[in-house]
Structure 1
């Protein structure tokens, strides 16, 4: 049996749960401390309880307790498995190594909603394992791979592909990262190395005809040609696509 490791895990959602299943199945000898957050906190907490693993909800009280109970460098690893917590240096100091799963091909699409921005700007999509740094998703890259997609694809469809690959990548890479020495590389510098926030998504999804009259012109064009054999057509990279427009008034 390999050397026992001490692992601090922050986790959320079903993707985090799939990663936890791998941890407890492959490396049950390791000593874990789990910090659970939404979404799917109840599901994860129930699973950990069934497997005799103590866990704590993400809260200031939990963070204060971590700082009081564990000295700097106490843990071998800090893993952020699909959690949205922004780590302070005092928490990062609790572990010798850190790893975050980000559903993007870094340095593209740092921050929130990376699938949206990959499609929106035609950037690569993918999965990156990287060290956690003070800047959001700015840490050195441990492993990354592209998830190919083609136009046209919806955000929901690409999210399913990336999310499924994300936990698989972790399960494939963790045995190596856990047990051997490895190195990370600094992220490449892009001309536009933005870090996106949820506010960016909410703003970008609104087409305001007062400030974007071209949007109203496009919608009118689609509506005008939305009948029978004369539906609007998009010509893109040698292919033709039929276009339809559906509008539904939202409640105030």
Structure 2
């Protein structure tokens, strides 16, 4: 089986490394530009592909690029945390389809920042392997797995657990992908939720003159705690003051402090 691999970030690198021991032929690699992604150089090195089989994600609509990819004749496209929308000509290319690994429990949290919105919207968190279609994370489901949201979770800690669950789900489902006949079931696109980056920008600005339910404010602050990245903030004299939330569960063996 010839695989076209579109990936970005440490999970994509981890899965690509694991695939090197599998009975497939890596036909091509699509990465993010260096200034818009993570682990691009490591992905190229791991792929061991020649330069003419490595493509930039921001050039996927270029006719020359699509022609070169078509000449590779991939049987399957794997998308792992790949942030660019694929054109129809690429989606229609592999006979076994295009499969995406998404850090959200579809149909909930389609789109960006699923770790954030599972906390803010109080919707199920999890991971999903699904076919790609013309929509954003709307394709048929192959497999999914729910991940518990802990009361001490931040956006960072939940994201870390989601990545671990994604890797495990991919490994568990891989034999079916390799066999060419994984299960598929349509999503109910009238259910669930979808978010874009501008939705996060909207909740990041904490209005000091607004009224928030305590639980809602805590959920925004913890969901947007992802050091070293900046998240929620309030304005003071025209300058942003950024906020992070630290959560710790009570230790049952810890003695109570009197007078404090």
Do Structure 1 and Structure 2 share a fold, with TM-score over 0.5? yes
1:170 corresponding residue in structure 2: 170
Partner of 1:135: 135
Contact 2:11 2:163 in 1 (8 A): yes
Tell me if structure 2 keeps the 8 A contact 1:22–1:171: no
Q: Deviations over 1:76-100 (max 9, x none)?
A: 1011111111112111111121100
For residues 62-211 of structure 1, the aligned pairs below 5 Å read 63-71=62-70, 74-96=73-95, 97-191=97-191, 193-210=192-209
d(CA) in 2 for partners of 1:152, 1:61: 40
1:42 offset after TM fit, Å?
2.0
Structure 2: where are the runs of 5+ without partners?
219-232, 241-260
Preserved CA contact (<8 Å) 2:29 2:44: no
For the pair shown, the structure with the greater C-alpha radius of gyration is 1
Deviation, structure 1 residue 148:
1.6
Corresponding position of 2:257: none
* Partner of residue 16, structure 2: 20
Unaligned runs of 5+ in 1: 223-245
State the alpha-carbon separation in 1 of the partners of residues 68 and 234 from structure 2.
56
- The SS at the match of 1:85 is coil
Distance 2:92 2:4 in 1: 12
Give the alignment's TM-score, normalised by structure 2: 0.73
**Per-residue deviation, 1:57:** 2.8
Task: Name the TM-score, length of structure 1 as normaliser.
Answer: 0.76
Paired residues in the alignment total 216
Q: Matched residues in 1 for 2:199 and 2:92: separation?
A: 31
Cα RMSD for the two superposed structures: 2.9
Query: Residue by residue, what CA displacement relative to the aligned partner does 1:9-39 show, whole Å, maximum 9, x if unpaired?
Result: 1111010011101211122x42421111122
**SS of residue matched to 1:91:** helix
Quote the offset at 1:132 in angstroms.
0.3
Task: Select between 175-184 and 96-105 the one with higher mean Cα deviation.
Answer: 175-184
Q: Residue by residue, what CA displacement relative to the aligned partner does 1:106-138 show, whole Å, maximum 9, x if unpaired?
A: 000000000100011111111100000111000
* 1:247, distance to aligned residue in structure 2 (A): 8.7
Q: Secondary structure at the match of 2:75?
A: strand
